[in-house]
Amino acid sequence: MDRRTRARELTMQALYQLDVQGPDVLDQLGLFFREADPDDFVRNLASDWSKGAWENLQQCDELITGSTIKWQFARLSPVDKSILRLSVYQLKFCTDIPPKVVINEAIELAKKYSTDKSPGFVNGVLDAVLKKIENSD
């Protein structure tokens, strides 16, 4: 598995834990990443993305909420929320990552960790978010 793909997977899992258990788990992220046994590059990247997404959670959630027309944000599964939060963070703040890569990786995470309908849902939401970000620049 590509190292960046592995970092995304760990970040999604960390954001899931933060969503389910609350911010008290922030102090335990280092232990979580060490237990997952990633190399330094993967661990550092996953840590940076997790902290960045969590620190910008309000902006990310607002973009997601504004792009989920038929779904209330509170009704989204924690897995889908975590995938979307990571991806929206990357689209908005990690300008060195091509949007096409962000969206494709999110779809792959949804295929692996969520329901059969999630990849299409994630793709649609992220396309809408990307348009909003591009229009605001």
Share of the chain above pLDDT 70, in %: 98
pLDDT at position 54 = 93
Domain spanning 3-136: which superfamily? NusB-like (1.10.940.10)
pLDDT at position 37 = 66
**75-129, pLDDT tens digit by residue?**
899 999 999 999 999 999 999 999 999 999 999 999 999 999 999 999 999 999 9
Asked if residue 97 lies in contact with residue 90, where contact means CB atoms within 8 angstroms, the answer is yes
Rounded Cα gap, residues 13 and 3, in angstroms: 15
pLDDT at position 77 = 94
CB contact set of 64 (below 8 Å; sequence gap of 6+): 73, 76, 81, 84, 85, 88, 125, 129
Segments making up each domain of the chain, as ranges: 3-136
Average pLDDT of the chain, as a whole number = 92
Three-state secondary structure of 42-83:
HHHHHHHHHHHHHHCHHHHHHHHHCCCCCCCHHHCCHHHHHH
Among 21-25, 73-77, 88-92, 132-136, the range scoring the smallest mean pLDDT is: 21-25
CA distances from 93 to 31, 33, 49, 99, 115 (A): 26, 22, 10, 11, 27
**pTM of the predicted protein model:** 0.93
Among 10-19, 53-62, 67-76, 126-135, the range scoring the smallest mean pLDDT is: 67-76
CB contact set of 42 (below 8 Å; sequence gap of 6+): 3, 6, 7, 10
The yes-or-no verdict on residue 25 having pLDDT over 80 is: no
